[in-house]
């Protein structure tokens, strides 16, 4: 049964009373026995346990924050490595033999009788200055 807080309008005494949800009868003041009382709005004093309730969500949020702090340095290191990987370029070569440009690599591949279609896009990018 819930505990309700009442205030007496006659003597202004505030008191608590345990009552069932369905009991709508008047409550008398514990000090002056007046029936001129009014139920007050108060916050609940119980804790909801289980999934989906605020208390558990706050606990999980704290655990996630702690975990994220622990993995942050690793993430930063990974991001740094990623940036370094993006700045790396493929060097023009044919069968491991390095040359100075993609157009030179295409000519060398052609002289060796290899398919040069894969070099076309790289030669175009090189001429535009994108590489």
Give one word for 113, left, alpha or beta, with left for phi > 0 and alpha for psi -120 to 50. left
CB atoms closer than 10 angstroms to residue 29: 20
8, 40 Cβ separation under 8 angstroms: no
Q: Which residues, at least 6 apart from 49, have a Cβ–Cβ distance to it below 8 Å?
A: 55, 56
Work out the mean pLDDT of the chain and round it to a whole number: 85
Whether pLDDT at 84 is above 90: no
Q: Which residues, at least 6 apart from 98, have a Cβ–Cβ distance to it below 8 Å?
A: 91, 92
Residue that is written with structure tokens 């369905």 in the block:
22
Name the pLDDT band for 131 (thresholds 50, 70, 90).
Answer: low
What are the b/e assignments for 7-27, b being 16+ CB within 10 Å?
A: ebeeeeeeeebebeeeeeeeb
pLDDT at 13: 94
Whether pLDDT at 10 is above 90: yes
Whether pLDDT at 46 is above 90: no
Whether pLDDT at 99 is above 80: yes
């Amino acid at each position: 049964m819930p505990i309700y807080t009442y205030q007496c309008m006659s003597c202004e005494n505030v008191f608590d009373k345990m009552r069932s949800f369905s009991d709508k009868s008047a409550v008398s003041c514990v000090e002056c026995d007046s029936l001129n009382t009014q139920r007050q709005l108060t916050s609940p004093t119980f804790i909801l346990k289980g999934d989906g309730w605020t208390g558990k969500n706050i606990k999980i949020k704290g655990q996630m924050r702690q975990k994220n702090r622990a993995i942050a340095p690793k993430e930063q290191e990974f991001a740094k490595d990623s940036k370094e990987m993006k700045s790396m370029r493929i060097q023009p070569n044919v069968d491991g033999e390095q040359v100075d440009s993609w157009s030179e690599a295409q000519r060398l591949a052609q002289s060796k009788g290899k398919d040069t279609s894969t070099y076309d896009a790289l030669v175009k990018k090189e001429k535009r200055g994108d590489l």
